Amino acid sequence: MSLILYGVCERGPEPPPGQGLGGRPLRPVTAGDLTAIVSEAPDDLAVHEGALRIYARVVESLEALGTVLPARFGTRLANDQAATRLLVERRDRFVAALARVQGAAEMGIRATAPLPEPSAAHGDPGRAYLLGRLEQRRRAEQLAARIDQTVSGVVRQSIVRVMPRSGTLLQASYLVTRDAIDTFAGRIAELGEFGLAVTGPWPPYSFVESA
Amino acid sequence: MSSAATITSSRPSGSPVDGQDVALIDLLDRLLQGGVAIQGDITLSAAGIDLVALDLRVVIAAIDTLRTPCR
């Protein structure tokens, strides 16, 4: 039998609410001042969209318990002892990460790349492609700078990726104090950029990698 | 590239999972590349294929083929 890990939080008096994947009940495993929220693993942890959405909702619901470090989807632990070991071995990192994200949520901005324009490069498709890519990169970097300038006062941390994959001009995550989220969203809206997907508030998935 | 991404330009409000048309890519990026990770302990499978360490684009393609009829 193995466990699914949903997140790590400070030890608290409240039991975790509800169920996890496959309808398995959530339960805490506590060691020291930290608690891992786990459930028994369902028989088949398939990566389909429904499972991802259920998982995301569960992690979100854990935030009712306080600050949570979300676990990557599919993280398994062999048993309770393994969960305890994790909490003990990484205690200092978890505590530092909890302090770093306390009171904040993650906001996301994604800009999609526009459709390529018809080639104007005198029939040389290779050159047109490269020029197109350079132009896209230039626009992505410009957009990143504009966004950075407008939100720099209201974000704790940012992770910005220019052209991370084909079709995406810019992908960025921001760690924003909760009471600054409206200000953040307002400033992004004021940029007047089309084609920006602003998402959030998320639990801070992108800001716990060092935990 | 699959059409899994949905483009919205809206102010965020409430749950990003239920309250908005959250694109699969936004979910995948966070849930599969973010979060506390334990090296070597994550085993994901789709149609019997290990998805660990695969390019995210491959994961998106794999998920598209598994997409359940009702969301």
Percentage helix, strand, coil for chain B under 3-state DSSP, each rounded to 5: 30, 10, 60
User: Is the CB of residue A7 less than 8 Å from the CB of residue A59?
Assistant: yes
For residue B32, give the nearest of A73, A181, A195 by CB distance.
A73
pTM of the model: 0.82
Pairing of strands A196-202, A104-112: antiparallel
Looking up tokens 């602003």, which residue turns up? A198
Q: Hey, are the CB atoms on B12 and A205 less than 8 Å from each other?
A: no
DSSP string covering A162-193: EEEETTEEEEEEEEEEGGGHHHHHHHHHHTT-
DSSP string covering A36-84: EEEEEPPS--B--HHHHHHHHHHHHHHGGGS-EEEBPTTBEESSHHHHH
pLDDT of residue A144: 95
pLDDT of residue A40: 95
Tokens of B34: 């973010």
Determine which of B2, B31, B32 to mutate to test the interface with A (most A C-beta atoms within 10 Å). B31
pLDDT of residue A122: 60
* Ranges of residues in chain A whose predicted pLDDT is under 70: 1, 115-122
For residue A107, give the nearest of B12, B24, B43 by CB distance.
B12
B8 touches chain A (CB under 8 A): yes
Q: Which of residues 60-79 of A touch B (CB under 8 A)?
A: 60, 69-77
pLDDT of residue A48: 80
pLDDT of residue A116: 61
Q: Which of residues 26-45 of B touch A (CB under 8 A)?
A: 26-38, 41-45
Q: What tens digit of pLDDT does each residue of B55-68 get?
A: 555 555 555 555 54
**ipTM surpasses 0.85:** yes
Q: Hey, are the CB atoms on A57 and B18 less than 8 Å from each other?
A: yes
For residue A72, give the nearest of B10, B15, B42 by CB distance.
B42
Looking up tokens 């992505």, which residue turns up? A140
pLDDT of residue A96: 97
Distance from CA of B60 to the nearest CA of A (A): 10
Looking up tokens 């966004």, which residue turns up? A147
* Ranges of residues in chain B whose predicted pLDDT is under 70: 1-22, 40-71
A110 interaction partners in chain B (CB closer than 8 Å): 5, 23, 25-26
Residue A123 is given by DSSP the state T
Given its phi and psi angles, is residue B37 left (phi above 0), alpha (psi -120 to 50 degrees) or beta? beta
